[in-house]
């Protein structure tokens, strides 16, 4: 079985990091507050995601091998060696016909190389038998169809395609390479970008044959090959890295909001318990089915005279179990929130005009506040970025 790690040192580091991560989770759950346990538990899949992103970017870039000179010719002057790299395309009649034509040419030797298409998850778990058996069956069927045992050989490998081709150059020394793929990457098939990588790394003629199910083999146009190159290499790796970074930012924002919600629940419950809910409910205005309000940066002056961020409405009166529509115009360029752990409310207020639903099941008087970092003073004072929800 091929190791999913590039070296013993990488495997050792992975084991050490895994042990430390598990120990941190156990300690956080046993001795730390709930929010800290959530953070530590979230870091483990985050680390796995980072490692998977690195592997994918490395795959898009391709192996960083220097361009190789053409290998020395093996055999007589009229002898020719052809390496055919294929997997699911071995079922195509036109490829089998091309394989038979080459085998029938005098002084021509053909090696049929079938790299098994194995996912990163399968390499990590060692589940290689299925893809390897599929590749073996395809090679066996192709060789039986073509015949010419003396000049046609078959080989399967669990190595990534570029590594497998490099190994073939060291043993078979081909004079030409034929890469057979589908028009687009599919399950069980080789990437169409493979032909471009082979041209970049090996100084021999390379033909790229692409197949649609049941159709004749064709060579892609220059525009198609250019598109294949754009979908791999350094540019594609950077694009993927930017997308992964954006996704990580979104996940981090959601995680920070959840942690703030959990971390503030005890403080909110203590404040809510100290207030006399019944007296304040009676003093509030009648319940409205909809409320229009806005969020303004540097809007409302504080005791010191400095203007602070503020909601125009901070006191909400609702009936238990009855939804109230909030039409909020957020004039800021960043999101804010109406968050009340005691009431089970967490409304993320995006920039612009949007309508949200405020609904609380249990009567009471609940503190709410904004969990997104903005005006620290306003976040701590009711009437600005904090207030109360009264449920009757």
State whether 320 and 346 are in the same domain: yes
Query: Residue 2: what pLDDT?
Result: 45
State whether 27 and 122 are in the same domain: no
Tell whether 68 is covered by a domain. Answer: no
Which CATH number belongs to the domain containing residue 111 in this structure?
3.40.50.620
Q: Please identify which residue in the block is written with the tokens 């009340």.
A: 340
Q: What is the distance between the alpha carbons of residues 359 and 356, in angstroms, rounded to a whole number?
A: 10
Q: What is the distance between the alpha carbons of residues 74 and 169, in angstroms, rounded to a whole number?
A: 12
Residue 327 has pLDDT above 90, yes or no: yes
Burial bucket for residue 36 (CB in 10 Å: 0-12, 13-18, 19+) = middle
Do strands 336-340 and 345-349 pair parallel, antiparallel, or not at all (unpaired)?
A: antiparallel
**Structural domains counted in the chain:** 3
**Which pLDDT tens digit goes with each residue over 142-172?**
888 877 677 788 888 888 888 888 888 888 8
Residue 263 vs residue 109, higher pLDDT: 109
Contact criterion met (CB below 8 Å) for 391 and 364:
yes
Tell me the average pLDDT across 9-37.
67
Tell whether 74 is covered by a domain. Answer: no
Query: Residue 337: what pLDDT?
Result: 92
Query: Residue 366: what pLDDT?
Result: 93
**Which pLDDT tens digit goes with each residue over 223-273?**
777 776 766 555 555 555 666 666 666 766 666 666 566 556 656 665 666
Contact criterion met (CB below 8 Å) for 21 and 46:
no
Task: Return the biggest CA–CA distance within the chain.
Answer: 104
Q: Quick one: angle between helices 233-273 and 34-61, nearest 10? A: 170
Contact criterion met (CB below 8 Å) for 351 and 335:
yes
Tell me the average pLDDT across 74-80.
78
| Structure tokens belonging to residue 363 | 């009567």
pTM of the model: 0.46
State whether 253 and 280 are in the same domain: no
């Amino acid at each position: 079985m091929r190791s999913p790690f590039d070296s013993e040192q990488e495997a050792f580091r992975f084991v050490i990091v895994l042990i430390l991560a598990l120990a941190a989770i156990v300690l956080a759950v046993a001795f730390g507050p709930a929010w800290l346990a959530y953070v530590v538990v979230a870091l483990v899949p985050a680390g796995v995601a980072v490692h998977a992103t690195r592997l994918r970017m490395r795959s898009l870039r391709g192996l960083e091998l220097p361009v190789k000179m053409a290998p020395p010719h093996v055999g007589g002057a009229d002898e020719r060696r052809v390496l055919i790299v294929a997997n699911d395309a071995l079922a195509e009649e036109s490829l089998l016909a091309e394989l038979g034509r080459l085998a029938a040419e005098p002084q021509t030797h053909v090696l049929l190389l079938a790299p098994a298409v194995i996912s990163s998850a399968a390499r990590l778990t060692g589940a290689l038998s299925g893809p390897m058996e599929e590749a073996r069956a395809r090679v066996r069927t192709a060789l039986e169809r073509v015949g010419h045992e003396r000049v046609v050989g078959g080989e399967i490998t669990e190595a990534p395609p570029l590594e497998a081709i490099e190994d073939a150059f060291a043993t078979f020394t081909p004079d030409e390479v034929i890469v057979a793929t589908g028009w687009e990457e599919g399950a069980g098939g080789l990437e169409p970008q493979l032909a471009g990588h082979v041209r970049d790394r090996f100084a021999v003629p390379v033909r790229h044959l692409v197949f649609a199910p049941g159709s004749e083999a064709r060579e892609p146009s220059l525009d198609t090959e250019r598109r294949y190159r754009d979908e791999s290499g350094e540019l594609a790796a950077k694009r993927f890295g930017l997308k992964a970074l954006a996704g990580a930012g979104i996940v981090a924002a959601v995680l920070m909001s959840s942690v703030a919600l959990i971390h503030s629940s005890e403080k909110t419950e203590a404040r809510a318990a100290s207030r006399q809910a019944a007296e304040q409910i009676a003093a509030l205005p009648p319940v409205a089915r909809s409320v229009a309000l806005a969020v303004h940066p540097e809007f409302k002056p504080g005791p010191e005279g400095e203007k602070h961020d503020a909601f125009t409405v901070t006191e909400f009166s609702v009936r238990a179990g009855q939804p109230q529509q909030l039409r909020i115009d957020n004039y800021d360029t960043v999101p804010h929130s109406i968050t009340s752990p005691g009431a089970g409310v967490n409304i993320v207020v995006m920039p612009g005009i949007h309508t949200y639903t405020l609904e609380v099941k249990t009567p009471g008087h609940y503190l709410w506040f904004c969990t997104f970092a903005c005006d620290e003073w306003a976040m701590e004072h009711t009437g600005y970025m904090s207030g109360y929800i009264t449920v009757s």
